[in-house]
Amino acid sequence: MKKSGAEILMESLKAQGVDTIFGYPGGAALPIYDALYDTDINHYLTRHEQGAAHAADGYARASGKPGVCLATSGPGATNLVTGIANAYMDSIPMVAFTGQVATSLLGKDSFQEADITGITLPVTKHNYMVKDVNDLSKIVKEAFHIATTGRPGPVLVDIPKDVSSTVAAYEDPGPVLLPGYSPAFKPDPKQVSRAARAIVEAERPVIYAGGGVVSSGAHEELKELAETLLMPVATTLMGLGGFPGDHPLSVGMLGMHGSKYANYAISDCDLLVAVGVRFDDRVTGKLESFAPNAQVIHIDIDQAEIGKNVRVDFPVAGDVRLCLREIMKQLEPKVESAWNGTINKWKKEYPLGYVDNGRIKPQQVIQEICTATKGQARIATEVGQHQMWAAQYYTFNRPRSFISSGGLGTMGFGFPAAIGVQVACPEETVFDIAGDGSFQMNIQELATVVNYKLPVKVAILNNGYLGMVRQWQELFYNRRYSYTEMSNPEFSKVAEAYGAVGIKITTPSEVRPAIEHALSVDEPVVMDFITDPEENVLPMVPPGEAINKMLG
């Protein structure tokens, strides 16, 4: 039986197990949306294409399945770019579909034409323009294979309007055959043996765990490794939840806004076991001073990352979960050492904390959310001070519970991402911890949560500034607050105007009751916490400094 290209797309999506799409229609995508009308695929209409991309991203992070977004040509497609770049930087599996002008109009500056494959080339794992409807099912299958295998990432498929309208026979494309693309999974036995020997011989080892632990599902293997060898575990922002935050061996997040004891442990260790990380600048600080006394084991599925930023003594290329399993076969349990005592001493001497001055402290809000949810909520964040406070003061004990923009640092990410998380986890409590600046970047998605009755809870830490930029201006630019002070609406009234619940909180005593009320209603809620305007995120490693040279 023959079908239109758009109908073939629907069949191909269902063959990949897709049941959820986030998108926004337009002229070049009309054949696709017409075919979507007759399917049982759930489509969530966001109020901006960027919101669709971030929602697909959040869905992928929470579920482990690839997120799917759909937009029209031209500005619809270009509005996806930030969300695609965000997924690319954080290695998130996503497939983005865009409508395109008819093939006869390509290259003629046609209405709503944009070279989206050219534009997204640097921020996709791969992309396609479909010029023959007979290739469509094969391309869709390849796109999902590429997005989800090896190091995950976004793939874009651009479909001209005549291709989605043309009729052809739909057949299963058969197995994916991509010459030159063979992502490695199993580690080399010799690499495994060398790494295991280094772990056995180390006296002051530290595990440095990142997002690769979460994406590979290696959290149990990581815990077993740490407990068997009694190794302290420091996590990156992307790695939060990959190791239980309340575990005695956890030293929390490391890097620019990491805990002092995590950064001291990294700086004094003699072996750094880097698992699913990329040694980015916010973690390492001054590169030549990062883990200066340590040999380095780097376990990662992407061989291009190994040795890219730091010298690596023991490379182990492969799927993190399989690598850890193979290494564990060669290890025996260790007993507690003087190193564990030193770590515990630092944890007691340098705890995270803040000064109570009678105003709402953002740290207090995070702690109260953690207590009220018993640490079991899924937490999405925007980007800025509130993001770092969430990382520091919420205890993440399970993978895929912290949903945040790491590599790209995208303001406006958290709220639409929380939509995707809530869709993926309908029975769970989902929070977006936001800043007053970030929240306004995709505030229009309040219409989406109300329309689909998604009970996302938004906690705005409202300090009246672009807080992180203001903090840098205070510390490094002599308090010259150049264009960082914000004039904000009454967020509670804006929420009510959209049909959500709005609450404004101005005193510390109101914080816990507001959170409890938000949790008691099965509706989207926006809580506007008026916080201390000049509170800073501490500790902080100044730019260009070693990570053991911290302010605060």
* Mean pLDDT, all residues of the chain: 97
Q: Which is the catalytic residue, given 3, 65, 112, 510? A: 112
Write the pLDDT tens digit of every residue in 57-82.
999 999 999 999 999 999 999 999 99
Please state the CATH superfamily assignment of the domain spanning residues 2-169 in this structure. Thiamin diphosphate (ThDP)-binding fold, Pyr/PP domains (3.40.50.970)
Residue 142 annotated in active site: no
Q: How confident is the model at residue 148 (pLDDT cuts 50, 70, 90)?
A: very high
pLDDT at 470 exceeding the cut of 80: yes
DSSP string, 209-240: E-HHHHHHT-HHHHHHHHHHHT--EEE-TTTT
- The band of 1, judged by pLDDT with boundaries at 50, 70 and 90, is confident
Specify whether 468 is catalytic.
Answer: yes
Q: What is the mean pLDDT of residues 83-103?
A: 98
Number of Cβ within 10 Å of residue 68's Cβ equals 27
Domains 2-169 and 189-349 share a fold: yes
Where exactly are the structural domains of the chain?
2-169, 189-349, 362-530
* 171-187 per-position pLDDT tens digit: 899 999 999 898 878 99
Which pLDDT does position 389 carry in this prediction? 98
**Of the candidates 216, 198, 191, which has an alpha carbon nearest to the alpha carbon of residue 296?**
198
Helices within 64-171 (DSSP H only): 75-78, 81-89, 116-120, 136-148, 161-165
Give 3-state DSSP helix, strand, coil % of the chain, rounded to 5: 40, 20, 40
* List 111, 203, 349, 493, catalytic entry: 111
Alpha-carbon distance values, 431 to 445, 454, 524 (Å): 14, 11, 10
Q: Per-residue pLDDT averaged across 103-132, rounded? A: 98
* Residue 161 designated active-site: yes
Q: Is 516 a catalytic residue?
A: no
φ, ψ of residue 108 in degrees (nearest 5): -115, 20
Residue 300 structure tokens: 């990662």
Give the dihedral sign, CA 127/174/60/445. positive
Domain 189-349, CATH homologous superfamily name and number: TPP-binding domain (3.40.50.1220)
pLDDT digits (tens, 9 = 90+) for 376-411: 999 999 999 999 999 999 999 999 999 999 999 999
Among 10, 16, 22, 49, the active-site one is: 49
Closest by alpha carbon to 143, among 158, 126, 119, 168? Answer: 126
For the 362-530 domain, the top CATH level (class) is alpha beta
Count CA atoms closer than 13 A to 146's CA, side-chain side.
23
Edge-to-edge strand order for the sheet containing 430-435? Answer: 402-403, 378-381, 430-435, 457-462, 525-530, 501-505
Q: What local confidence, expressed as pLDDT, does residue 182 receive?
A: 86
> Is the pLDDT assigned to residue 277 strictly greater than 90?
yes
> pLDDT at position 116, please?
98
Active site residue 491: no
Q: What pLDDT sits at residue 549?
A: 96
- Mention every residue, 6+ apart, whose C-beta is less than 8 A from residue 344: none
Average of pLDDT values for 126-132?
A: 98
Give mean pLDDT, residues 494-505: 98
437-465 tens-digit pLDDT = 999 999 999 999 999 999 999 999 999 99
**Number of Cβ within a 10 Å radius of residue 161:** 24
- Please name the residues in contact with 132: beta carbons below 8 A apart, sequence gap of 6 or more: 163
What is the edge-to-edge ordering of all strands in the sheet holding 42-45?
A: 42-45, 20-23, 67-71, 94-100, 154-160, 126-129
* pLDDT at residue 351 is higher than 80: yes
The answer for 504, left when phi > 0, alpha when psi is -120 to 50, beta otherwise, is beta
pLDDT at residue 184 in the model = 74
Catalytic pick among 94, 238, 468, 550: 468
Catalytic residue among 125, 141, 161, 361: 161
The string of pLDDT tens digits covering residues 236-259 is 999 999 999 999 999 999 999 999
Q: Which two tokens stand for residue 264?
A: 């001291």
